[in-house]
Structure 1
């Protein structure tokens, strides 16, 4: 019995039992804070057919490794309740209106999972909105 378990153990380890799904990420936009080396990175994260594409905003510093950036905002389209952009992400606008203040406007019908009020010395404001559209020219 023990011998069978020792033989099966490597097979189970290689088969991927319990492994996390592999996600693909596309960078949508990167905005830099004029007052420091901070940046905000917008990503579209696709983790497979059973999940919606997530729109993720990370706040980091150019002087640090990219994997240390903090995820400050995560949302998706709530199963198509809002229109999607080219990369499959929700409509989002990320700007630094003044040093140390990040403003994130996002689709009002999006399903939001995370909204941190601050990170890495910057304060963050959020606005649930929709993109402005100009009237057509007659």
Structure 2
């Protein structure tokens, strides 16, 4: 499987991660997710050079996906808002979108060139008609 970003790529963009083994595992997961997105959009396995936009953006997007996971406090996964108080002790946590989860959103798809419709045409020879 193609790995789109290395620990060095991540460090150059976001600084050193505390746990390099976890970082490498997450970069591998992000790469697998990007491959799945590519295959879903184009209907064929990924090959380097087939999509210039994808090839250019894949390392940055893989690092972005991993950073989203690594920068979520362990006990706050899924939380979008936290309020605390002191007098009369109050606390409130709002859970919403996928904070702390790895997902490919609209911005990432646009960067990868996967945001538009893809035209697929099968020639007669590919359909087995010849």
TM-score of the aligned structures, taking structure 2 as reference length: 0.30
Structure (1/2) with the larger helix percentage? 2
Structure (1/2) with the larger strand percentage? 1
Report 1 or 2 for greater relative contact order, CA contacts < 8 Å, sequence distance ≥ 6: 2
TM-score of the aligned structures, taking structure 1 as reference length: 0.28
